[in-house]
Structures are given as structure tokens and as C-alpha cells.
Structure 1
Amino acid sequence: MQVSETLAEGLKRELKVVIPATDLATRLDEYLNDMKSKVNINGFRPGKVPVAHLKRLHGRQAMGELIGNLINETTTKTIEERKEKPALQPEIDLSDDDAEKVLAGEADLAYTISYEVLPKFDIVDFSTIELERPIVEISEDEVDEQVKQIAESNRPFEAREDGAAAEDGDRVTMHYLGKLDGEPFEGGEDENGQLVLGSGQFIPGFEEQVVGMKVGGKKVIDVTFPEEYGAANLAGRAVTFDIDVKGIEAPGDVSIDDEMATKLGLESLEKLKEIVRGQIESQFGAATRQKVKRELLDKLDAEYTFELPEKLLETEFDGVWKQVEADMQQAGKTFEDEKTTEEEAKVEYRKISERRVRLGLVLSEVGEQNKVQVTDEEVQKALFDRVRQFPGQEQQVFEFYKNNEQALASLRAPIYEEKVVDFILELAKVSDKVVSKDELLAQDEDEA
């Protein structure tokens, strides 16, 4: 086998590989010798088929299989010997003009390997990175407010007397049917919908028009969906709802005590507060994690400037752009609505793609150098978490991931990233900074 480098420009590499026809012929004979003990051909005893006869019958097909295997084998070996790491799967170019002669054993096998190598860069000293970790101190008032909301959501209700009209605070059970331009719209019907009047759970103007209705009462009400409503086909649209009241219940008293906690399956009010505090800490802890991770990635992004593999970048950008187009189509918006143009948006999202690729390469290199590993148990847990998101389709989703290496890798990747981030944070200088809840939960304007 002869290998010659035909291109070494930046990260791009191109190699020409030539395997002499004599080598192919030797390998073909070995292949057919192995085959003759496995095939049954009329007129010949098992293992006694002449190689020449096999070559006439199966030579072309065998040579095709042999070439495919040989290209994979030699490509991997060639790149390994060069101690290079391709950014993506190398591309193989085998001239169609020579293919017939190669298959017939009349020409050398010559093909080109094209790929981009991963860039080389030095890892910074993470102990020089200084970060502020925003934390919220959870007050008793915060816990008490959450407990109050839990108590309110579990408030008892009792049926109102016959003929009573619904008032603010009452829980109304009703059948409602929403219509747009006189036609029912998806998601606009509930046979036994429950609504606490005055809670603000429904579209503005809906609850006020139910006040005063009685059991058995029917009514058509007019409301308008908010401009920012999630469903594009309903945002800002005027609709009607056919209302049929089935029941009206008056609110009972709420007591925040051990008895209330017992009804929730807990031994005491103190235990309920302990659980609530833990939930708040978990919520704020996740937000703190995201903030400090974002700050770390920003600092790493500022530390590194190196050439990116073009095809890796294009692959990332294509994925990002497809998601942008899908999101805009779902929201029913145009670039004009976002006060930009498609060209300007592409420039911005290309910058985002470059950042993602660069940071991905940095984190990957850090993880590899420091032997960060994702265990099978961690992937299994992520898989089960994913499966639970599809009730009724668990088995199909499980089989999809189990039989799809790329899909399984998509579960492993974020776990690996988080473990590498943890590794860096252990080495960086991280100081805590007390902030308000609003400051912690505020979204960064340029977050992506």
C-alpha cells in the first residue's frame, strides 16, 4: 500500500492511497479459499470447490466486498499511523472510471481520503479562572408563602345550595367548547373543566362572564386570546365559548397546621416545610448552576481562538438554523417580525454555532486529557428519564435508543459535558455572591 499526502492546508487533509492489483489478487484468493469451505455448489463436495470456479461464479461480488472492507481498514490504519483525529467521518472518493477494471482485477485500487483534523490547542490553567456563583438565601417567609399556596390548592369545597349563583372564589364545574370563526378549535373543549373564579387561570375576561351563572345555566361568552399566546392560530384572535355549568362549590376554610400536612400524607407541618425548603433549594440550585456554567463558558470562549473544522461548523449551523426555522414557523413569525432579516439572523446564528463548536472541542479535550468518563449506569438513567417522557410509548422509545448509536450518544453527550464542567469548577476559584431571587432567575439577553 502506498500513501501520499496531496493536501495539507490548515485543518484540511487529502491523502491518495494506492493498493496494487497484485495485493488485491492475493487477498481475493485468500477470501475465496475461506469461502469454499462455506458454500455448497452442485457437483462438488463441501470444501472441494476449485478456487478458479468460485472466482468465475463469485469473483466480482467477492472483489466488491473485499474492496469495501479494505478501504475501511486501510483508511482507519492510515489516519492512526499519522496520529491525526478527524473532526468528522473521512470522505472516500473512488473513481468510477477505474472501478470496473479494479473489480476485474486489471487495475490498482486507488482512492482519495478527504477529512479535516481536530485543531490542537493548549489547555489553560483553570486555577487562574475566577467565577462568582450567585446564590439566594431562602427566608422563612419564602417557605411560608409556598406552604400557603399548597394549602390554597388543597382548599376544601362544598356544593352551594340549589339555585345559588356563582361568585368569586367559587369552584365551577362546566362543559365548555371554544370556537374560532364558528368552528371548534383544537384544545378548546373540556367535558368537566373546573375553574376557581378569580384565580386568573383562564383567558382574560373568561372568568368574569361565568360569575352569576347557576347550575344548569348555558351561555355563550366572547373573549380574545392575548397577542403573546403560545398557539399562533389563536394569538390575538377573538373566539367564543359555549358554557354549560354542571356544578358550583363554595370554598371552605384553610388551616395551615399539622392536620393539613397529615391530609397530604406527611407527619407534620414541620416536615412539609422541610420538603418545601428542599424544593426551593433545588429550583434555585439549578438556576445557580446554569449561571455559573454560563459564566465559565463565557470565560473559556474568551480564552480560545483557533481555526474550526469547516464541515463540523457547517453541520452545527445547519442543525441550529433548522431549529430556528421550525420555531419561527410554529410561532407564525417572520424575520421582519423580529426586526431583522434572514441574512442578519444567519450571521448571528453562525456566531452561536462557532461558539458551540469551539467550546465543544475545548470541553472534549479537557475531558479526554483528564479521563472523564460517563458510566453505563448514568446513560441508563438518562435513557429511563427520556422514556418516561413518552407515556404509552415507553417500549418503542426504549428500543429506538437501544438500536440507535447516534441517539444513545445524544444522551451521553450532555452528561459528559456536565461532568467536564464539574471538573473545571473544582479547579477554578469560585466565590459565592448573595443575590435576589429575581436576579438569579433573570434570563441573560444573549443567552443561547
Structure 2
Amino acid sequence: MKIKTNKIDSANAKIEAEIPKSMIDENVEKIAKKLTKTASVQGFRKGKVPVNVIKKQYGERLVQDAESEALREVLNRGLDELKIAMSALIGEPNITQFNKDADKIEVSVTIATRPEIDLENYKEMVPEFQKPVISDEDVASRLEKLADAQGKFVDLKEQRAAQNGDSAIIDFEGSIDGELFEGGAAKEFALVLGSGQFIPGFEEQVVGMTIDEEKVVNVKFPESYGSEKLAGKDAAFKVTLHGIQEKVKVEIDDAFAAKMLAGQDDKSLENLKSQVKKQLEYEALAKLYNDELKPTLLETFVAKMQFDLPEFVVEQEIDVALNRKASTMSEEEIQELRQSADKLQELRETFRDDAQRSVRATFIIDALATAEKVRVDENEVMQTIYYEAMQMGQDPRLAYDKYKNAGYLPAIQMSMVEDKVLTQILNSKIEA
């Protein structure tokens, strides 16, 4: 058997071979002899089946198995010549050529290996930065919001017009072009004015109404509204105001702190302020990380860490982008691509740069996770999905099974690894 190898670059290689028919015949003979010891053939005792009977019974299957064994030999010998370990391969070897004639089989196999990434100077690419500064005014503002959330609505002691912050008890009935629409009416609905709970313009027109007053509120549903029947439509709401409640202000004092810090030993207002400040620092730092530092840092790594990419992984990423694009195209556009290989290839190439960046980023994160000893196991992924599902009022088990059945768990895990490793790297550079 003739073998020729070509290491295209550090991540891609090609093995070409010419397999003589004699090698296939030898493999057929060897496999057939093994089967004589295990095959069950009617009229023969097990282990006593003649080779010629085995060949007749199994026929083409023996040839296919013999060719598969020859291909494995091609791969093994090719890897030996390339000095590449089988464990270093990414994905399955791709047979790009298999020409079979009476005397031989000409075969070409492309392989991909994990890229070699130089991480020697990656920490030098991370900028130093300072923690966000939280002022006393920031803490006071958050305490005001916490206190406001604890406030209770009570009936007005003195009658006045409704104003922002009040809870207006209203009946409303909505119509479009004089026709009532489903879900557009309610009785004695408690609407907190200024909360933005209703569509833009509605609450503003209730402000100033007095008890027992009736009014027609004219609004327009946003173009992005969830219901297609209502999106962008002008609507008229007949509104009756039955009552007004105002929120009783909660004083920010030790009693308030004791309620907020229930279960803790130190229930003082000073401790509450300290904890609020820490929470605000955490939120500000998380926003800085997620909105600015992490995306910029990853782009820096992608730009500065140059290495060869496994070509088939890039092609797979292009396929994903192409399928995503196809889902937004009309049937005529898709048919045009089916009829023109050139146009299809041209469209594929528009995704190549982004695909290469995405693949490069994935391998960089994988390498950094190893260097930083960052892991995310399946249990951690499950806990994250469960928590988010509960936050949204969904069944956690059903949410997890949905992601699992759709094959999304590896992507979620990789996203968590990226978040964790970039956070850890940034934390090492933070300035107090």
C-alpha cells in the first residue's frame, strides 16, 4: 500500500493512499476465517463452517468490512508518518476521495487536530482597571427604592386628583374602530400610575382624574406589541375611576433595617447600608464586566492570538450561519440558491470571517479554561437552568429537559465556562 501525507498546517493534514486489491482480498480472507469460528449457518456445527460458505453467505458485507479495515490501516500509518496521536484528532476523519477500480482503491482522508495556542503572554493583554465607586447618594437612592417597595397603599384621607405613584382603581373597556377586542377590559383594576404597566400614554391620561370621573383615553399600540391584531393600532379606552390610594412612606431607620435584615445578628441601619453598598458594587462591577470588559478582552485575545484553525470546524460554523440565514429567506430566494452553486458559495463566503472569529474564540476560551483551571460540570449547568426557570415562573425540570432534548446543553456549558474564565482573569487585574 502506498501512503502519501501532507501536513497542510498545524491544525489540518491530508493522507492519500493507494490500496491494492490484493490487500482487500487478504482482509476478506482474514475476516472470513474469523467468522468460521462464530457464525451460525444452517446445516453446519458452530465453529465448523467452511470459509467458502462464509464468503457466499456474507458476500458484499465481507468486502465492506475489508475496505473499512484497510481505511483504518491508512489512517494509522498516515498518523504515524505525520507524528500525530489519535487522541489529538478533532471530529471524525473526512474521506474526501474514494475511487475504486478493478486493481485498487485511491483514497484521500483529511484530518483536523486541536490547535496549538500560545498562552505565554495572555495575562499581559488584560488591562488594569478600577472598581466602580459607589457614593453615599447611590446607597441612599437604593434604600429609598427598598423602602418604597415596602410601602402599602391606603385610601386617601383627603380627596384629590390622581397623581403619579398612586394606585388608581379603574374600570376600563378598550375598542378599535368601535369594536371591543379580547383582553381589553377589566373591572376595579389597581393600576399604579407611572409604573409603565400599561401601553405608553395610558397612565399619563389617568393622572389628573378624580373619583367617579369617566374619561376616554386614546392611545396607540406599539408596532412591536405582542399581538399582531393590536400592534400599531389606534385604540380608545373608556375609563372610570372608582378610587385612589396613596402609598404610605416607610421611614428608613433601625426598625426598617431590622425588617430587611431579619435572621441576621447585626440588624442595624449601618449594617444595612454596608450590605447595600456591597450589592451596588457587585452590580456595577458585573455591568462593567458584561457590557465592556469581557467583550473587549475576548476581541483582544481573538485579534492577538493567531493560530491555524481546523477547517472542518469553520465549515460547520458556516453551515450553522447559512441555515440561520435560510430560515429568514423566501422560498424564491432559496430556490435561486439551489439552482446556482456559485451564488450559494458566494453567500457561504460572507459568513467565513465571523465563523473564523467564533471558532478562534471557542478554542481560546477552552485553552484559557485549562490554564486557569476553570470547570463547569453538568450539575452546575442544571442548577443555572433551574434557577432561571424558577425566576420566570417555569417548571425547572421541563425547562432542563427542553434544552437537553434540543441539544443546547453543550452551548450553555461553553457560555458558562467563557463567563467564568473571563471573570477570573479580570478579577486578577482589578485595582481596589
TM-score normalised by the chain length of structure 2? 0.69
What residue number does 2:333 align with?
none
CA distance in 2, matches of 1:232, 1:350: 37
Alignment partner of 1:154 is 2:145: no
What residue number does 2:31 align with?
28
Compared CA separation, residues 177 and 310, structure 1 to 2 (3 A) = farther
- Alpha carbons 2:167, 2:245 under 8 Å: kept: yes
- Alpha carbons 1:28, 1:63 under 8 Å: kept: no
Output the amino acid matched with 1:222.
Answer: N
TM-fit CA distance, 1:136: 1.1
TM-fit CA distance, 1:286: 1.4
Q: What is the Cα-based RMSD across aligned positions, in Å?
A: 4.8
Output the amino acid matched with 2:129.
Answer: R
Compared CA separation, residues 143 and 121, structure 1 to 2 (3 A) = closer
CA distance in 2, matches of 1:382, 1:48: 55
TM-score normalised by the chain length of structure 1? 0.67
What residue number does 1:82 align with?
82
What residue number does 1:360 align with?
362
What residue number does 2:202 align with?
206
CA distance in 2, matches of 1:117, 1:77: 16
- Alpha carbons 2:32, 2:62 under 8 Å: kept: no
Equivalent positions of 1:375-386 (< 5 A) are 376=377, 379-386=378-385
Give aligned-pair identity as a percent: 26
Compared CA separation, residues 230 and 299, structure 1 to 2 (3 A) = farther
Alignment partner of 1:3 is 2:3: yes
CA distance in 1, matches of 2:114, 2:313: 10
Alignment partner of 1:279 is 2:279: yes
What residue number does 1:56 align with?
56
- Alpha carbons 1:172, 1:195 under 8 Å: kept: yes
Name the SS of the counterpart of 1:383 in structure 2. Answer: helix
Output the amino acid matched with 1:316.
Answer: E
CA distance in 1, matches of 2:242, 2:72: 70
TM-fit CA distance, 1:173: 4.6
CA distance in 2, matches of 1:346, 1:225: 39
Equivalent positions of 1:21-420 (< 5 A) are 21-29=24-32, 32-33=35-36, 35-36=38-39, 39=40, 42-44=42-44, 49-50=49-50, 52-61=52-61, 63-64=63-64, 67=67, 71=71, 75=75, 78-79=78-79, 82-84=82-84, 89-93=92-96, 95=98, 98=100, 110-115=106-111, 120=116, 122-126=118-122, 128-129=124-125, 131-159=127-155, 166-173=162-169, 194-211=190-207, 212=209, 214=211, 221-225=217-221, 237-241=233-237, 243=239, 248-263=244-259, 266=262, 268=267, 270=269, 271-290=271-290, 291-306=292-307, 308-317=309-318, 319=320, 351-367=353-369, 370=371, 372=373, 374=375, 376=377, 379-390=378-389, 392-399=394-401, 407-418=408-419, 420=421
CA distance in 1, matches of 2:180, 2:72: 58
- Alpha carbons 2:202, 2:217 under 8 Å: kept: yes
TM-fit CA distance, 1:206: 0.5
TM-fit CA distance, 1:146: 0.8
TM-fit CA distance, 1:204: 3.0
What residue number does 1:339 align with?
none
TM-fit CA distance, 1:145: 0.9
CA distance in 2, matches of 1:80, 1:246: 86
TM-fit CA distance, 1:156: 0.6
Name the SS of the counterpart of 2:151 in structure 1. Answer: coil
TM-fit CA distance, 1:280: 1.5
5+ residue gaps in structure 1?
330-344, 434-448
- Alpha carbons 1:374, 1:412 under 8 Å: kept: no
TM-fit CA distance, 1:131: 1.1
- Alpha carbons 1:134, 1:288 under 8 Å: kept: no
- Alpha carbons 2:365, 2:418 under 8 Å: kept: yes
TM-fit CA distance, 1:25: 0.9
Compared CA separation, residues 348 and 44, structure 1 to 2 (3 A) = closer
- Alpha carbons 1:31, 1:62 under 8 Å: kept: no
- Alpha carbons 1:372, 1:419 under 8 Å: kept: no
Name the SS of the counterpart of 1:131 in structure 2. Answer: coil
CA distance in 1, matches of 2:52, 2:419: 59
CA distance in 2, matches of 1:49, 1:182: 89
TM-fit CA distance, 1:21: 0.8
5+ residue gaps in structure 2?
331-346
Output the amino acid matched with 1:203.
Answer: I
CA distance in 2, matches of 1:175, 1:316: 54
Show CA shifts across 1:176-235 (max 9, x none). Answer: 6766667788987778854212344433320133342657x87653212457x5759577
- Alpha carbons 1:118, 1:309 under 8 Å: kept: yes
Compared CA separation, residues 76 and 182, structure 1 to 2 (3 A) = farther
Larger CA deviation: 138-147 vs 348-357: 348-357
What residue number does 2:338 align with?
none
TM-fit CA distance, 1:30: 5.3
TM-fit CA distance, 1:155: 1.4
TM-fit CA distance, 1:385: 1.2
- Alpha carbons 1:178, 1:239 under 8 Å: kept: yes
Output the amino acid matched with 1:3.
Answer: I
